[in-house]
Amino acid sequence: MEHDGIISTVDLTKTYGDITAVDHLNLEINKGEIFGLLGPNGAGKTTTILMLMGLTEPTSGSLRVGGYDPMRDALDVKRIVGYMPDNIGFYDDMTGRENLRYTAELNHICGMEAEARIQSLLERVGLAEAADRKVKEYSRGMRQRLGVADVLLKDPKIVILDEPTLGLDPEAAKELLDMIRDMGRKEGKTVLISSHLLLQIQSVCDRVGIFVKGKLIAEGKIKDLAARLSSGCNVLEIKAEPREQLDDAVKSVAGVEDTEVEGDMLLVKGDGENLAPRIATELAARNMALYHMRIREYNLDDIYRKYFQGEEVKQNGISKLQHKK
């Protein structure tokens, strides 16, 4: 992957009256990268995308997409960006193939070239057999796959997908994510995915940004975000019997920083790789039965929850301070 910014924003802000939808967003997405912009509904993700596409004007700040200013060079941006909104619209009384032909005409792709591209894309997204059926007969998953074909028809450098897996069953979502992965890994396209479905999206993203109330509160590779949460310390999960003796036994081991009960497990904070054999030795010495021990790995849902809760605490503190004033 080349590490040069193809999408960048500097203090990008969008307000609607007293509401700040996007708050001083500083973001850089590299060429050939799959980036996940993640957060709850209403976080400002779609507003950010609309500004990147030149479909709504920023209140302040600046942005570049492929080197262009979307507000001044809207046509240049549209030539290099393929955009699939969260509720993609097609002409229901036209077939899938006819919808793609219409998109081809809009992008000045004509004749045999258009037909060849359309057929190739229909086969790629698994719609070759349904190509000549009217779109009103398509399922949600089929519409999403047709949307991917529609986005790729002009061979864009950048692909922006807003909630692409929303409403899909697990198998359809997996198929769509495989297509997205291929866009980045095999074709070198830059892909920006907006989603609140964290566990689905984490499998394809090179980096993620966590978006809450218009603010980017964390950004990076998932493993790096997880490392920040653990403050350089590993967390061990342990199950052993008798349970009532476990906490005392573990705390007697040198290097243990803290413990916490979670269900039938004891979570142990410290240098996990070095602690594990020491704890196992201690439990064996006390004739305790060890059933489970492993270093916990944070997934994206854990990371999001931790950062989101941290931001909530921070915002509540600011609100209370302002109220006192």
Pairing status of strand 190-195 against strand 34-38: parallel
Q: Count Cβ atoms below 10 Å from residue 228 Cβ, excluding itself.
A: 14
pLDDT in tens, 37-47: 988 888 899 99
Domain residue limits, the chain: 5-221, 231-295
Q: For 5-221, CATH number?
A: 3.40.50.300
Is the per-residue pLDDT at 316 higher than 70? no
φ and ψ at residue 311, rounded to 5 degrees: -70, -40
When pLDDT is averaged across residues 49-65 and rounded to a whole number, the result is 96
Q: Note whether 150 and 84 are within 8 A (CB).
A: yes
pLDDT in tens, 185-217: 999 999 999 998 877 777 899 999 988 889 998
What pTM, to 2 d.p., does this model score? 0.77
DSSP 137: G
pLDDT of residue 166: 86
Percent of the chain with pLDDT over 70: 90
Structural tokens at position 305: 């929850």
pLDDT of residue 322: 41
The reply to whether 5-221 and 231-295 are identical in fold is no
Q: Note whether 27 and 8 are within 8 A (CB).
A: yes
* CATH class as words, domain 231-295: alpha beta
